[in-house]
Structure 1
Amino acid sequence: MESAINSTTGKKENSILQVIIASSVGTLIEWYDMFLAIILAGVLSTQLFPNDGSSHFLETLAVVVSSFMFRPIGSLIFGSIGDRVGRKYSFLISLILMGSATFLIGCIPTFESVGWFAPVLLLICRIMQGLAISGEYAGAVIYVAEHAPAHKRGHYTGFIQATVPIGLLICLLVVFLTQSFLTEDQFNSFGWRIPFLFSGLLVIMSYFIRKKLHESPVFEQLKKDGKTSKSPVKEAFTTPGNIKIMLKAIFGGNAAQSTIMQTTLFVTLFFLQRAVMLPYETVLIIVLISTLFSSIFYQYFGSLSDRIGRKPIMLGGMICSFFLIPISFYLYMTIGNPEGLKEIHSIGNPAILGIAAVSLITSIAGAATYGPLGAFMLEIFPTKIRYTSMGFAQNMGNGFIGGGTTFVTELIKSTLIVSAAMSPYVGLTYPLILIFIAICVNYFTIPETYKTDLTED
């Protein structure tokens, strides 16, 4: 993967293959890091919180999802770096910050050893991760898009979108394999640390791959022409009409995309464990199957959006998700626990495959929403404040609003008094409200963007 030489400038440029691999690998690892604490929230609640006989699962989820709350702040920090210094440097720093935080989670002493310092240290690490991922995703999507031909932006940025399910897939595999080689007591005692520590090796490899990259040609030209923003954060909020665009991006796409992803992945994961009462290993297998087979659709829908537009695919994914999510959760219970058992129980392979198929169909609808979203987001903002504007909008919607879905659904279920028949499903009101708002905002206010010239301001 040698860099190409530009015949006009004589400068080295990245090949598109090099750009995609380096950007995708780094983003994939950061999603792996981000998801790991959510997947292992159950064991973290027993190791880093007091063992007093009561469940600290909700408190653990609150700490874990705190990372999503800090993402808008991180987007302004990294967005400013990306718009002033360069795209490459911003997501190199974010990669190092994310890897360090994940590795340190694997080193946190238990509550038994240091008391309340344990959950505090987890909170600090999750805040670091939230700041890091806010700079990573936007930077990677913009970097790839600014290298890609105009008619293939969705196709190439679709690879970045696909890093979400693949990152989760690797995360689930590492956890599953670690559990397979250890007893339950060994995993709960020390084995849970292994997936976090393993991330350190992945991050080091990714850093050296990314370090060889050159800056994007669009940003280099902007810098050469002296048109880079001196104050991207200020300009993002003072440029006429930009706040309105950010609000459209937040409520017309990002918040819905995030809540759909959180619901089809993590809310499903916890619902199958805590409501359907399936064994943890069975739940991992189900989520692994649906994640594996849905991962190809993220890039597919990104590519399709180059031909028919971003809006119809995203809108179609939202509408399908709005109907499929409540239906799928009803089917999870009907297939997995038709007798309403209150204890953990096993189910046969046909039932496992049936639940996995339902999960897959819902995940494909989510892929339609997310696949074109990266290209759509970068196309609606001007080049010189693109990183800051896109990053803030994406992290407000994807992080602050939609990112809390896992915690909010659990909170609603545990506090809202409803009938016994509705109690397992009441938490779904939050994602459904966000999706409905997005459908209305997207349909009535958001223009098509797939023919936008990225070099125009």
Structure 2
Amino acid sequence: MATKYDTLPKHHRATQSEKLVIAASSLGTVFEWYDFYLYGLLATYISAQFFSGVNETTAFIFALAAFAAGFAVRPFGALVFGRIGDLVGRKNTFLVTMGIMGLSTFAVGLLPSYASIGVAAPIILLVMRLAQGLALGGEYGGAATYVAEHAPEGKRGLYTSWIQTTATFGLFAALLVVIGFRFTLGEDAFAAWGWRLPFLISILLLGVSMWIRLQLNESPVFQKMKEEGTTSKAPLTEAFGEWKNLRWVIIALLGAVAGQAVVWYAGQFYALFFLEKTLKVDGATANILIAIALALATPFFVVFGWLSDRIGRKPIILGGCALAALLYFPLFSALTGAANPALARAQASAPVSITASQAECAFQFDPVGRNKFDSSGCDIAKAYMAKAGVSYANADAPAGTPALVRIGGASFTAPDPGTLAGEEKIAAIAAFQDSLKAGLAAAGYPAKADPARINKVAVVAILWALAMLVTMVYGPIAAMLVELFPSRIRYTSMSLPYHVGNGWFGGFLPTTAFAMVAATGDIYYGLWYPVVIAAATVVIGLLFLPETFQRNIDA
């Protein structure tokens, strides 16, 4: 039976009203990303408010782990809401995911701290974070599919690249709000209670976003399938139970999305955390510098989306992954020199090493918050260096050898806790830590970055280079994922690899990378995580990933 869609050319040229619908969809998605990324920007404050029962290093890693928990459940949100989107349509699914996201974000701003309600605080926080992850898992696939199915033939990369900008615009909006409150309230007030305000004002964005989404019309491709009765009756089974479709899900994940994800999170979130926690740049300055870099880089999402309509998706995505694998170590090393030149000089002129029996050294991460890292001299030395954010090399020694810390030409012998007890042990550890503090200061190691000596132009340039790699891999990815899968199971099929890649490979990057740094003492060691995954994606993508930019997506 003929329908009104049979008169449209494949794929029809977008009308003015459809372009407005696409803009509205993108704006709504910006607000969802704003909600989701607030947590990452405020991880330092959240660690102090909700994980104060553990040591400082563990608290921050826990805060990052709760941040990552929202990413962990994104694939499950993709399955649940992807199925709904393929069964009942894109528009109604948007409304449900937005409501869950907005209310969960608002609730975080009201949540009592650990000091008020104890362990219930981090548990409730985790529940809210999981709800956010489920909602976002259903959001992206729908938005990308919706926009692509409205786009004219030959312009899907350009049109969907606007959806790709929404994550950065959301992060940028969150940065501006956080910066505004920090400067308005002052650091003390912001740390005490002001950090809640960016979460609370999200209820206003929820109202605006729901109104925007209510204006949307259903995708013409889905509407056509619905009228013709060709929608999938079992999208999960069809997408993942049939090898012809499942193999493309696996190839999309390992040959494109995994690398895109680690480049995205290393270039934006890990870079921000690295500035604050490792290089000791004050949070407000770090936020401003990365906001400037993002503002300069964001137009290139659209540039690379447009370019992918002409030369293909594959060379741009894999090219960005390859450049990231090659450039991350030199870029982050340069970032140290530009943001904290005193630290860079101290590392070069007075490197730190800890010589001890590695069998007597604990991993510097305490999942239950009860390890004081004082059972061996090695633990005492490493715990202090981890807290100070000082990079050090490890050297093994025979069992029973006293731990020895070298700072340039100076040496410091750690006390043996096994021979001490009570007040004597406490006093010996305190004296050793004081001597390390003095030794680090004498060698030129700064307690924090000197704002007057930060080369802000160089820092912004390096952050911009990292963000440019993000635009290369992320700009064309939505169009490529849409084109890989048939329309009847597109929402479900593309959502899973995207959210496994970005939720697991990318979302766990800050937590994993900082744990790797804590374990080794090398502030750059965590970069091996994104470098290896990006390089593997290049190899797998070159071998198995097809070029998709000239495909018809109506089938």
Q: How does 1:257-406 map to 2 (within 5 A)?
A: 257-340=260-343, 341-348=445-452, 351-406=455-510
What residue is the counterpart of 2:126 in the other structure? 123
What residue is the counterpart of 1:94 in the other structure? 97
Compute the displacement of 1:338 (Å). Answer: 2.9
CA distance in structure 1 between the aligned counterparts of 2:276 and 2:329, rounded to whole angstroms: 17
What residue is the counterpart of 1:159 in the other structure? 162
Compute the displacement of 1:240 (Å). Answer: 3.3
What residue is the counterpart of 2:30 in the other structure? 28
Compute the displacement of 1:192 (Å). Answer: 0.6
Q: How does 1:126-145 map to 2 (within 5 A)?
A: 126-145=129-148
What residue is the counterpart of 2:547 in the other structure? 448
Q: AA paired with 1:375?
A: A
Q: AA paired with 2:258?
A: A
Compute the displacement of 1:350 (Å). Answer: 6.9
CA distance in structure 2 between the aligned counterparts of 1:19 and 1:439, rounded to whole angstroms: 35
Taking structure 1 as the reference length, what is the TM-score of the superposition?
0.94
What residue is the counterpart of 2:514 in the other structure? 410
Compute the displacement of 1:320 (Å). Answer: 1.4
Out of 61, 66, 77, the position equivalent to 1:63 is 66
| 1:239 and 2:250 matched | no
Out of 41, 44, 48, the position equivalent to 1:42 is 44
CA contact (8 A) 2:74 2:499 kept: yes
Q: AA paired with 1:34?
A: F
The verdict on how the C-alpha distance between 1:14 and 1:84 changes in structure 2, with shifts beyond 3 A counting, is farther
Q: How many residues align?
A: 444
Q: AA paired with 1:41?
A: A
CA distance in structure 1 between the aligned counterparts of 2:333 and 2:52, rounded to whole angstroms: 34
Moved more, 131-140 or 252-261: 252-261
| 1:432 and 2:435 matched | no
What residue is the counterpart of 2:18 in the other structure? 16
The verdict on how the C-alpha distance between 1:14 and 1:237 changes in structure 2, with shifts beyond 3 A counting, is farther
The verdict on how the C-alpha distance between 1:382 and 1:424 changes in structure 2, with shifts beyond 3 A counting, is same
Tell which structure's C-alpha radius of gyration is larger: 2
Compute the displacement of 1:8 (Å). Answer: 6.2
| 1:177 and 2:180 matched | yes
Percent identical pairs in the alignment equals 39
Q: AA paired with 2:308?
A: S
| 1:225 and 2:228 matched | yes
2:110 counterpart SS class? coil
Q: Which runs of 5+ in 1 are unaligned?
A: none
CA contact (8 A) 2:341 2:453 kept: no
Which deviations, in whole Å up to 9, do the C-alpha atoms of 1:184-232 show, x marking residues without a partner? 2211221111101111111110111111211100001111111111111
Which deviations, in whole Å up to 9, do the C-alpha atoms of 1:158-179 show, x marking residues without a partner? 1000111111111100000001
Compute the displacement of 1:51 (Å). Answer: 5.4
CA contact (8 A) 1:14 1:214 kept: no
CA contact (8 A) 2:74 2:500 kept: yes
CA distance in structure 1 between the aligned counterparts of 2:322 and 2:285, rounded to whole angstroms: 30
CA distance in structure 2 between the aligned counterparts of 1:54 and 1:364, rounded to whole angstroms: 33
1:162 counterpart SS class? helix
CA distance in structure 1 between the aligned counterparts of 2:99 and 2:499, rounded to whole angstroms: 19
1:118 counterpart SS class? helix
Which deviations, in whole Å up to 9, do the C-alpha atoms of 1:328-362 show, x marking residues without a partner? 10001122223323411224477011011011012
Q: AA paired with 1:371?
A: G
Moved more, 337-346 or 98-107: 337-346
CA distance in structure 1 between the aligned counterparts of 2:109 and 2:163, rounded to whole angstroms: 27
Q: AA paired with 2:325?
A: F
CA distance in structure 1 between the aligned counterparts of 2:244 and 2:447, rounded to whole angstroms: 55
CA contact (8 A) 2:340 2:453 kept: no
1:83 counterpart SS class? helix
CA contact (8 A) 2:47 2:63 kept: yes
Q: AA paired with 1:449?
A: T
CA distance in structure 1 between the aligned counterparts of 2:237 and 2:53, rounded to whole angstroms: 47
1:230 counterpart SS class? coil
Moved more, 329-338 or 14-23: 14-23
